[in-house]
Structure 1
Amino acid sequence: MTRALRNGDLPKGFADQKEQDASGRLRTPRYPLGEVLALIPARSGSKGLPDKNITPVGGVPLLARAALAAKACGRVSRVVVSTDSPRYADIARAHGAEVPFLRPADLAQDRADLQDTFFHMLDSLYALDGCQPGALLVLLPCYPFRTPADLERIMDRAEDCGAAVCMPGIRGPDRSAHWFLRDDQGRAVRQDLDGGCVAEGEAVYLRPCSFSLLRLPPWSLVHGRAASWADMLALRREWLVQAEAQGMLRNAPEVVEYGELTGLEVHDACDLAVLRRLEARGLL
């Protein structure tokens, strides 16, 4: 990928795309995303909480809640689910998501690299129907309180600043080595906090939450040249360097702060017990 970027290498209408914001007003993003593909990875072999991804919360399976949030978001062009289970696929389709094929068995193991399932879906969709999204919105099913407005917000931020990656952060304590810290300008930057060493002052720590937006190069530049997510990222780095040099994108992550409820995760039986208590009190 050594040639200069051409118009077709960026989302259609990059310079003049107009969209409506939540209030119906026209907005002209500086860095439009193009088509956004929402991808929901949902394998069936969870060991900590069997069938976690279809566990009902408020009467709706987690997988379905993710699909419904994405479908209700007007900025998402397509919602697809990656699963190895025909049963999960039926649930996804019943709630408006596509399951164009089942995930291969080697990508459905508990030690399989989740990111390679992203590559499998993107490359397979390109081969199937020429799909070339401008951005990938990854939605793990285990966050039941994520809303369409949450998704809109992260996409708005990406279009406003041109970030290559946009991810949410949830306020929390400083006990993790992978939290985010506000810098002197108030921006959230990644820090290594080994040994509990933290910066002094009014630090705000943001725990990454597992849904994120990733800008993508046109898949025609990737298909046949990459065999894994790692290969794709190497090609994507070249693409981003050129895009940034031409003032088209900003090759840096952006962190958007969300409230604690958005980051509430169903990971194990203890998390589920908390949600069941909320249900019993009529709070879901």
Structure 2
Amino acid sequence: MTDTGVLGLIPARGGSKGLPRKNIRELDGLPLIAHSIQAGLDATAIDSVVVSTDDDEIAQVAETHGGRVPFMRPPELATDEAPTAPVISHALETLHSEGEEYDTFVLLQPTSPLRTSTHIEEAYSIYKGSGVESVVSAYPTYETRWKPSPEGAQKLNYTDASKRRQDREPEYVVNGAVYVVDVEQFLQTGETITGMTEIYEMTERESIDIDTPFELWLAKQILTEWETDD
């Protein structure tokens, strides 16, 4: 059995209600999924970039841009209701049956095109250097959150004092861009954020997650119009 260490896994099903065919929509001259494939290929921490898909066209596009598609995802794992964990398990088990053994996987959602190989490398470095079971990317926020109730609106965070925004300690929002996970721990728990976990911080701009036409438009503006020397 070949031990290749770190798997870069990109889950990309064909169906999408919010933005039909989003994984192969054009963004900055490339299909959306190609941005994640290239980031994975450029990351030296990753030994193999595999795309899990149920869709023949996505498979063809992925292979054209350097991703491997050694199997097709079964239809029952490609529905709107299908969670991610069984998709990961299917990929790991299928690759295992074909002689590929991995001790770590890096989950790369294709809807995070502003995540780069540098982000992957930095997240993986935290994973290796801290001895944790998982690392998850997130961006900081200082916004207050509220919920309605019969007693009126209730504050959910920063409830200890009415501090100015710049005086608050940040909270973190998971952005879905990078998950670095110990395979054994994942197989035991079925969770991508599992065991002792560290946060890898990205900016809010880098954290855009494309699920709607507006988010695709916004990503295009960032990639083509945003000043990069700020």
TM-score between the two structures when normalised by the length of structure 2: 0.82
1:74-223 matches, cutoff 5 A: 74-129=44-99, 131-174=100-143, 195-198=155-158, 200=160, 202-210=168-176, 211-217=178-184
Q: Which amino acid aligns with 1:212?
A: Y
> 5+ unaligned residues in a row in structure 2: which ranges?
147-153, 161-166
Q: Name the SS of the counterpart of 1:64 in structure 2.
A: helix
Shift of 1:51: 0.6
Are 1:233 and 2:188 an aligned pair? Answer: yes
Shift of 1:283: 6.4
Residue identity over aligned pairs, in percent, reads 26
Q: Which amino acid aligns with 1:275?
A: A
Shift of 1:87: 0.6
Q: 2:196 aligns with which of 249, 252, 257?
A: 252
Name 2:217's counterpart in structure 1: 273
Deviations 1:13-61 (A, max 9, x none): xxxxxxxxxxxxxxxxxxxxx7110000000100100011111211111
Shift of 1:82: 0.4
Q: Distance in 1 between matches of 2:120 and 2:183?
A: 17
Q: Distance in 2 between matches of 1:165 and 1:279?
A: 29
Q: Distance in 2 between matches of 1:217 and 1:273?
A: 39
Q: Distance in 1 between matches of 2:226 and 2:138?
A: 27
Q: Which amino acid aligns with 1:102?
A: M
Are 1:58 and 2:45 an aligned pair? Answer: no
Structure 1, 196-205 or 101-110: larger mean CA deviation: 196-205
CA contact 1:174–1:196 (8 Å) conserved in 2: no
Shift of 1:195: 4.8
Q: Distance in 2 between matches of 1:158 and 1:282?
A: 31
Change (3 A) 1:258 1:79: same
Change (3 A) 1:168 1:276: closer
- The two structures, once aligned, show a CA RMSD in angstroms of 2.6
Q: Distance in 1 between matches of 2:170 and 2:227?
A: 28
TM-score between the two structures when normalised by the length of structure 1: 0.67
Q: Which amino acid aligns with 2:156?
A: G
Shift of 1:276: 3.7
Are 1:71 and 2:41 an aligned pair? Answer: yes
Are 1:44 and 2:7 an aligned pair? Answer: no
Q: Name the SS of the counterpart of 2:196 in structure 1.
A: strand
- The number of residue pairs the alignment matches comes to 210
